[in-house]
Structures are given as C-alpha cells and as structure tokens.
C-alpha cells in the first residue's frame, strides 16, 4: 500500500523541543551565558546546545519523521524507533549539560560525563539516521525536495561527529594529535555544518514543499531549485572537506570558508528567488498565519545574510559572531519552526481525530482548531523581541538583551499555550468537537491505526 | 540477463489516452523474472513509485524528441534488495508480492462521477473525496482529480475497504485517482 499514516512520536519530539526552547530563553533572560558570559564559556555552551540540540534538532527530527514519508509517499520504516532515539538524545543532552556545568564549577567533577554525552547523542542521532535512511531506501532515488533532506542528514552526521570530538576533548580523552588539533580549530565547521547544513538546508527542502502545499503554489523543480541543491551541497562539501584538512593541519580556515561562503551565497540567492516565486505564484490569495510568519522568518534569513556579508566586508565577523548566530537561530530557524509547528500540530490533530469519520459525519475544518488572530499577537511579539535582542547584541547592552529575552520567553509561552489548546480541541465548537467514531487526541502521543 | 516484454504506450498518449490500465495489465502478465521495457512520450516518474512498491527497479533512458525508454526489472532478477511498501524485505521482494485485490486486475466500470478537487485547499480534497465515497454503492467507481498524490487519503481508502488506482496525467500536474467502492482488502496501485 502506498501513502503514509501519522507519525506516532512526532508530538512527543515537539513537546520536548518546546520545553528546551522555553528553558533556553528563560536562561538568557536570567543572564546565563552570552552576552553576560564569554561566547565560549560553559554557560553559553549550555544555552547554545539547549537551543540547537534540545529545541531545533528535536523539532526537525520530529518533523522529518512525519514529513519524509509524505515527501516520498511511503510509510516510515519504523514508527517505534523514534522513541528510543528521543530518549537517547535527551539523555545525551543531559549528560552534555552536566559536563558543561562541571566545567563551570557548578557541579563536582564526575568522570565520563562527556564520553557518556558523546555515546548517547551519537547513538540517538544514529537511530534517527537509520530510521529515516531506511525510509529513503524505499523510494530511492529521492525526488528533489527529498534530496535536500538527504544532504541535511549527511550534515547532522558530520555535526555530531565533530561534537563527539569536542566532547572527548573536554573529557580529557583526546590523546591523538590530529583529533586534538581538530578540537582546537574545527569549531566553525561544527557550527556551519549544524546551523547551515543540517538545520537550514533541511528547512529549505521542507519549506519548498510545505509552502507550495499550504499556498497552492506550483511545485518547483526547475534549474533554480536544482542549482540551490548543487551549490549548497558544494558549499557544505568545501566546509567539511577542505575545512577539516585545514583544521587538522592547523592551517587557516579562511580560504575554505571564503570559497564555501561564495557557493553558499549563490545557493541562498537561488533559494530566495524560488521562495519569491512560491509566494507570487500562489493560487491562494489570503494565506494562513503559518505562511505569513514563515515569510517573516525568511525575511530574517535575508537580513542575517546581509549582515554576515556586511560584517565580513568590514572585518567584524569574529566580534559579532554571537549576534549573527543568535539572529540565524531565533529570527530564521526558530521563527520558521514555530510558524510551521502552529500548522503541523493543527493538521496532525485534525487528521488523527477526524480522519476515521471524514465524509460520514460533519467534522470541523483544520482552521477551526486554531484561533489565528490570538496566536498572531504572540508571533509578532516574538519577532519584535528577537529583533530588539539582536540589536542589543550588536550594541553591547546585556541588560536590555535580558529584557528582550524575557519577552521572547513570554511570546513562546503564549504560542505553546495555543498549541496545547489546539491539541485539546478547545477552539472547536462543542457540537462538532467529538462526533461518534472520532478519536480524542492525547497531548504527547499520536494514535496510529493499522 | 533479464528477459523484457516490450510495451509502447506512445500511441495511446499521443491520442490523449490514459495507458495506466495497459501498463498494469502488462505487469500482471509478466512471467517470474521477466521485466517490462516501456516506451512513453514523457518520463513516467509516478510509475517508478508504483512499480517500485511491487519490487521493480527501473532504468530510464531519454530517447530523441523527449521520449523515454524505461526498463523495469524485478528486484529478484536484478539481484538488488527490494524496496517499497507492500513487499516484505525479509522474504525477498518480488513482483506481485503486493496482495492484489479482487478488483485490482481487469477492467473497472466507467466512473459514476468525477470530482475536480485541484483548486481546493488541503485537506479539503480528502474530505470531499471521502464524503463522495460514502454515498456510493459497492462496485461503483469514482474519479477524483487532485493536484498532488494524496498520501494520507490512500491508507484511509484502504481502511474503508475501497480499491484504488492512481497516477499523474501526462502533464505531470493532475493526479487522477480512481476509487472502486468496497472492492479492496488493501489499496491496489
């Protein structure tokens, strides 16, 4: 049978991810990590990994378990394996945070925390890759949007590998000179492979299809989309290949990063033109909140790219790297993530609950599960707070940054409450809420009928 | 060396016809180990999925004038592991491993009605299609036009005991789904 069903654990991933996002934002509001502490201070690394692993990576993994089968029109290889993967990743992140807390002197020294983090995170992501990889094998060769995801999955493998090298270094296990050099020099590669390759490139593939689907735009698979894929892959290959050689020989990374930057820039420009096409050529004139907010997130990506170019031209990349990474993480990736989460939770809940009775009895529309004007206010507050926080980082005003982070936390909490209301069917009229035969959804788990 | 049965659907396509039934009929009549060499006026990408699910690998080659030749090889003959839903990797994929429904082979009656759902916001096409099937009698056929492969609808049709056949039209933009009421144990591609 072709087609696919719902992913059982995707909402569990989303719930854990949102908790980590809220925790990270609250820590920033409390003044933990950058800019109150140094960029590479253990406190900063705790916040950074709560955002990148706890929030963004779990969000992306949960979304991919649902979305890859849709892209390929094939069922997921296993609907059970995502659960052990989630447990391993969360445990690994816990061990990693414990390791950083030891470095910060907040916990007594316990041996093997970092090696446990390396093993747990490595095996957690390996299970994710295995589950998605076997799903891809069912529909090989993959279609164009799916090829973006394949490159993104290669990038997470690279990111985690670098991460394990760093964890071993922090734990004092690196006795090989080569790995020790990598530990010292390869940090930019870890960041670029993670934020650029894994999160941004996968988001490109996912957003191509989701934007087309939600706005009734034509599917793009022409030369611009293909060259977005080729140039982005080339940029990542240069970063990983040439960058690793340069880092291992303790040579400068500048040449590799400049070449990769040029290819990456061309890739971003092509993606931008595709996105403009998707919005311009849409059949649906009035678009939903998720597509409007995705556009705001895309504008933040464009702003981040322009600022990176400006900083590179003026020689301020090192000085402003914290602000730039913040803008990419919160303006672009988190903005897009929250926007799509708002739609996906409503759709998954609708299909789970009303799918079995569609056509047999009156059922609500997906849009009846949400109240967009109320959620829109939280989204605007979120983006305004992110913009203000970015400004504070550029101008070096840590106290104001903490206030902005507090507003980000409040806005995210508002969006999270909206998601719970959607899942609980609170917004649906009583008469339509649970017709006979409909399946009442649970908060953290999706019922999957066989 | 795989033995290929040749099928040229170019005349049907040029005449504006729908060769899906012919192709599936030809696949059904293949002897064990036999492959299908198909000639079409476009690259028949949807078929790659449909036949991939039945354990076929494919090799596509562009001919002159934008026409295509595709060789579908049963996985067992090609010594490659089976891929696709409906096949059991443990037992080795083979053509025909998908349980065929009683109505999956042979001719279906002409559709009773046609639903054009191409301009509807998702998931409205799914709702309308399922609503239409509820009012139909066993054995009747519904044709639904969609703008993409309805990945969530297909398992729901199978769950409700309907058989279906589907694929993209030659323009690659319209997904034509035929549903036969009460004729399935599972979906048939």
> B83, B101, B174: which to substitute to probe chain A, counting the most A Cβ within 10 Å?
B83
Report how many Cβ contacts below 8 Å link chain A to chain B.
Answer: 88
- The CATH number linked to B15 is 3.30.110.40
Same structural domain, B78 and B128 = no
Same structural domain, B56 and B118 = no
Q: For residues A268 and B48, which has the higher predicted lDDT (pLDDT)?
A: A268
pLDDT value for A326 = 97
Distance from CA of A2 to the nearest CA of B (A): 6
Given an 8 Å threshold on Cβ–Cβ distance, is A3 in contact with B187?
yes
Same structural domain, B13 and B80 = yes
Q: Helices (DSSP H) in A192-288: which residue ranges?
A: 202-215, 223-248, 254-280
Predicted complex ipTM: 0.82
B86 has a pLDDT exceeding 50? no
Rounded Cα distance between A104 and B168, Å, is 59
Given an 8 Å threshold on Cβ–Cβ distance, is B130 in contact with A358?
yes
B110 has a pLDDT exceeding 60? yes
CA dihedral (A12, A13, A19, A20) in degrees, to 10, reads 160
Same structural domain, B77 and B9 = yes
Q: For residues B155 and A401, which has the higher predicted lDDT (pLDDT)?
A: A401
pLDDT value for B43 = 78
pLDDT value for A78 = 94
Q: Is residue B91 part of a domain?
A: no
pLDDT value for B105 = 52
Same structural domain, B165 and B120 = yes
Q: Is residue B17 part of a domain?
A: yes
CB neighbour burial string for B109-120, b if at least 16 within 10 angstroms, e if fewer: eebeeebebbeb
Same structural domain, B22 and B67 = yes
Same structural domain, B118 and B60 = no
pLDDT value for B101 = 35
Q: CB of B18 within 8 A of CB of B11?
A: no
pLDDT value for A28 = 97
Counting the structural domains of chain B, the total is 2
pLDDT value for B94 = 30
Given an 8 Å threshold on Cβ–Cβ distance, is A358 in contact with B156?
yes
Across chain B, what does the average pLDDT equal? 76
Distance from CA of A361 to the nearest CA of B (A): 9
Q: Is residue B107 part of a domain?
A: no
Q: Is residue B93 part of a domain?
A: no
- Of the three residues B64, B84, B104, the one that is the final residue of a domain is B84
pLDDT value for A270 = 96
Q: Is residue B57 part of a domain?
A: yes
Q: Is residue B102 part of a domain?
A: no
pLDDT value for B89 = 31
Same structural domain, B71 and B132 = no
Nearest residue in B to A367, CA atom: B123
Same structural domain, B127 and B65 = no
Same structural domain, B77 and B118 = no
Residues of B in contact with A446 (CB under 8 A): none
Three-state secondary structure call for residue B7:
strand
Nearest residue in B to A213, CA atom: B122
Same structural domain, B75 and B140 = no
pLDDT value for B186 = 45
B79 has a pLDDT exceeding 60? no
pLDDT value for B11 = 84
Q: CB of A246 within 8 A of CB of A253?
A: yes
Domain span at B27: 4-84
Q: CB of A354 within 8 A of CB of A363?
A: yes
Given an 8 Å threshold on Cβ–Cβ distance, is B150 in contact with A3?
yes
Rounded Cα distance between A418 and A426, Å, is 10
Same structural domain, B10 and B69 = yes
To which residue do tokens 């894994």 refer? Answer: A198
Q: Is residue B126 part of a domain?
A: yes
pLDDT value for A285 = 83
> A135, A346, A359, A360: which to substitute to probe chain B, counting the most B Cβ within 10 Å?
A359
Distance from CA of B76 to the nearest CA of A (A): 16
Q: Is residue B79 part of a domain?
A: yes
Residues of chain A with pLDDT under 70: 1-2, 449-450
Rounded Cα distance between A66 and A74, Å, is 11
Q: For residues A289 and B92, which has the higher predicted lDDT (pLDDT)?
A: A289
């Amino acid at each position: 049978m072709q087609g696919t069903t719902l992913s059982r654990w995707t909402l569990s991933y989303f719930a854990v991810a949102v908790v980590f996002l809220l925790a990270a934002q609250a820590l920033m509001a409390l003044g933990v990590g950058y800019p109150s502490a140094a960029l590479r201070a253990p406190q900063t690394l705790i916040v950074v990994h709560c955002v990148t692993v706890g929030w963004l990576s779990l969000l992306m993994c949960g979304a991919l378990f649902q979305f890859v089968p849709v892209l390929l029109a094939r069922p997921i290889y296993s609907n059970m394996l995502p659960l052990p993967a989630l447990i391993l990743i969360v445990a690994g992140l816990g061990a990693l945070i414990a390791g950083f807390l030891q470095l910060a002197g907040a916990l007594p020294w316990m041996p093997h925390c970092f090696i446990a983090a390396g093993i747990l995170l490595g095996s957690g992501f390996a299970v994710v890759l295995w589950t998605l990889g076997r799903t891809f094998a069912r529909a090989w060769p993959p279609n164009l949007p799916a090829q973006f995801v394949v490159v993104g999955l290669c990038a997470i493998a690279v990111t985690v590998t670098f991460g394990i090298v760093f964890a071993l270094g922090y734990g004092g296990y690196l006795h090989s000179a080569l790995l020790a050099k990598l530990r010292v020099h390869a940090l930019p590669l870890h960041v670029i492979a993670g934020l650029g390759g894994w999160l941004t490139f996968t988001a490109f593939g996912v957003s191509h299809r989701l934007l087309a689907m939600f706005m009734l735009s034509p599917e793009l698979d022409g030369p611009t989309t293909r060259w977005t894929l080729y140039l982005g892959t080339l940029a990542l290959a240069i970063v990983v290949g040439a960058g690793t050689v340069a880092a291992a020989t303790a040579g400068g990374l500048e040449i590799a990063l400049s070449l990769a930057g040029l290819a990456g820039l061309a890739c971003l420009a092509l993606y931008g033109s595709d996105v403009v096409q998707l919005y311009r050529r849409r059949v649906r004139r009035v678009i939903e909140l998720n597509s409007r907010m995705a556009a705001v997130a895309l504008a933040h990506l464009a702003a981040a790219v322009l600022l990176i170019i400006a900083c590179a031209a003026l020689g301020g990349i090192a000085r402003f790297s914290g602000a730039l990474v913040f803008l990419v993480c919160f303006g672009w990736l988190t903005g897009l993530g929250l926007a799509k989460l708002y739609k996906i939770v409503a759709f998954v809940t609708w299909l789970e609950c009303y799918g079995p009775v569609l056509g047999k009895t009156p059922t609500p529309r997906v849009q009846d599960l949400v109240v967009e004007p109320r959620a829109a206010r939280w989204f605007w507050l979120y983006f305004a707070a992110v913009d203000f926080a970015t400004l504070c980082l550029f101008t070096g005003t840590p106290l104001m940054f903490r206030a902005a982070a507090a507003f980000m936390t409040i806005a995210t909490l508002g969006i999270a409450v909206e998601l719970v209301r959607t899942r609980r069917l609170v917004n649906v009229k009583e008469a339509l809420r649970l017709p006979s035969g409909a399946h009442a959804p649970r908060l953290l788990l999706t019922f999957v009928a066989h | 060396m795989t033995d290929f049965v040749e099928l040229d659907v170019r005349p049907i396509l040029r005449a504006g016809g729908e060769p899906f039934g012919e192709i599936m009929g030809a696949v059904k009549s293949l002897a064990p180990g036999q492959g299908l060499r198909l000639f079409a006026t476009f690259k028949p990408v949807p078929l790659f999925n449909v036949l991939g699910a039945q354990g076929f690998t494919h090799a596509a080659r562009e001919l002159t004038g934008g026409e295509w030749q595709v060789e579908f090889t049963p996985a067992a003959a090609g010594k490659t592991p089976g891929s696709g839903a409906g096949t059991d990797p443990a037992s080795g994929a083979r053509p025909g491993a998908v349980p065929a429904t009683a109505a999956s082979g042979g001719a279906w009656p002409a559709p009773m009605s046609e639903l054009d759902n191409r301009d509807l916001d998702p998931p409205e096409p799914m709702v309308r299609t399922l609503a239409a099937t509820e009012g139909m009698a066993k054995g009747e056929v519904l044709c639904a036009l969609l703008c993409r492969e309805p990945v969530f609808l297909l398992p729901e049709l199978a769950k409700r005991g309907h058989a279906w056949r589907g694929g993209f039209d030659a323009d690659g933009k319209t997904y034509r789904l035929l549903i036969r009421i009460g004729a399935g144990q599972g979906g048939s591609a």
